[in-house]
Structure 1
């Protein structure tokens, strides 16, 4: 499938998730550990849902 036709990813790794939120990977890990941002585990890999990242930002905006 050509790159322009690929659907956007549902899950991203910690580096991409942190960059998306403009925070450090360590801060992302702290937020996940506190339960502020849910994680998705696939075997030993931790991923973050794009929808969960958006929901976190929306909650922060709402105060």
Structure 2
């Protein structure tokens, strides 16, 4: 195994903390925790650490755009 294989490919976005995801969304960390806990926002768990994939955050935002405030009717 060479040293280059110890690092993720450059095309992989760094995972976000609750704080970073909250800043992107303009909400509190508690709101992000609730979204993850309720299953509305996927998260990756590493032991006790939880991270948000930026692609999942973008998808969450897009779902909100399509559904509008209050969801689709």
- TM-score range with shorter-chain normalisation? 0.7 to 0.9
Higher helix share: 1
Aligned residues: 58
Unpaired segments ≥5 residues, structure 1: 1-5
Q: Quick one: higher RCO (CA 8 Å, sep 6+), 1 or 2?
A: 1
Unpaired segments ≥5 residues, structure 2: 1-9, 68-73
Larger radius of gyration: 2
TM score, norm. by length of structure 2: 0.72
**Secondary structure, counterpart of 1:12 in structure 2:** coil
CA-to-aligned-CA distance 1:3-56 (integer Å, 9 cap, x gap): xxx767331111001101111101111111110001101121100000000000
Q: Which runs of at least 4 in structure 1 moved beyond 2 Å after TM superposition?
A: 6-10
TM score, norm. by length of structure 1: 0.82
- 2:61 is matched with 57
CA distance in 2, matches of 1:36, 1:44: 20
